[in-house]
Amino acid sequence: MTPNPEALNLKNPIFPARVAHVINPSQIVMNRGSIHDVKLGQRMLIYRTGDQEIKDPESGESLGYLERVKGTGQVIHVQEKICTVESDQRKFPRRIRSAWGLAAEIIEREALPFDHPEVGDWVKPI
């Protein structure tokens, strides 16, 4: 059973949120919006928690569950109860050579995809 990070988060009961819909591998819809104080441009971490609780080998104390990071993104559209988060990882600019031997810099602004985003993944501000 995957643990519920919300149950462990007493500082901010609004987060973590959940992925409610995957638009494409680079864009997700989160189940939080303007009524939850989500702002345009805010950065988010998309992740999944592991199934196994990690314990301190010396004390046996619970250290929590490992977060498997699926990527980071930026809020690009906010509605009342949902928002769209787009990956903020971008392809690096690359140089190409034209047929005439001139170098031209092409800047690729396309967002790199999250690592297999799924409905139910966790989302929190960073």
Please state, as a whole number, how many other Cβ atoms lie within 10 Å of the Cβ of residue 4: 12
Q: Which pair of tokens denotes residue 23?
A: 């638009």
**Cβ burial, residue 115 (10 Å; 0-12/13-18/19+):** middle
Residue 103, pLDDT > 90, answer no
Question: Domain extents for the chain?
Answer: 14-50+63-125
Mean pLDDT of 81-98: 81
Which tens digit of pLDDT belongs to each residue from 36-88?
A: 999 999 999 999 999 999 999 999 999 999 999 999 999 999 999 999 999 99
Mean pLDDT of 21-34: 98
- For domain 14-50+63-125, the CATH class is mainly beta
pLDDT of residue 54: 96
Phi, psi of 35, rounded to the nearest 5 degrees: -70, -15
CA proximity to 68, closest of 51, 90, 88, 91: 51
pLDDT of residue 91: 75
CA gap 57, 6 in Å, rounded: 25
